[in-house]
Amino acid sequence: MANPLYRELMDRLEKEIKEMYAPNDKLPSEREMVKQYNVSRSTIRLALGDLEQRGIIYRLHGKGTFVSSYFWAQASLSTTYSFSKMTSNGFKPSTKNISLGVVAADEEISGQLNLELNERVYELTRLRMANGEPFLYSKTYLPKKLFPDFVLEDVEQDSLYNVMQKKYHQISVLAFEDIKAVNLDARVAKILDVNEGDAAMKIYRRTINDKNVSVEYTKALARGDKFIYQSKQYNNIY
Strands (E), 25-110: 57-60, 64-67, 93-104
DSSP 94-140: EEEEEEEEEEE--HHHHHHHT--TT-EEEEEEEEEEETTEEEEEEEE
CA distance 227 to 230: 10
Radius of gyration over alpha carbons of the chain, in Å? 20
Smallest Cα–Cα separation from 158: which of 97, 220, 238, 225?
A: 97
Q: What is the pLDDT along the chain (238 residues), one digit of tens a residue?
A: 346 788 899 989 988 988 888 778 899 999 999 999 999 999 999 999 888 877 788 888 888 999 875 554 443 334 444 454 555 555 677 889 999 999 999 999 999 999 999 999 999 999 998 888 899 999 999 999 999 999 999 888 888 888 998 899 998 888 888 899 999 999 999 999 999 999 999 999 999 988 889 999 999 999 988 776 655 444 443 3
**pLDDT at residue 91 in the model:** 62
Chain region(s) in the chain for CATH 3.40.1410.10: 72-223
The pLDDT value given to residue 120? 98
* pLDDT recorded at residue 69: 59
Right CATH for 5-67 from 1.10.287.70, 1.20.1440.60, 1.10.10.10, 3.30.420.40: 1.10.10.10
Please state which CATH class domain 72-223 belongs to: alpha beta
Say what the pLDDT of residue 33 is.
95
Give the pLDDT of residue 41.
Answer: 93
SS3 215: strand
Domain ranges in the chain with CATH number 1.10.10.10:
5-67
Which amino acid type is present at position 24? N
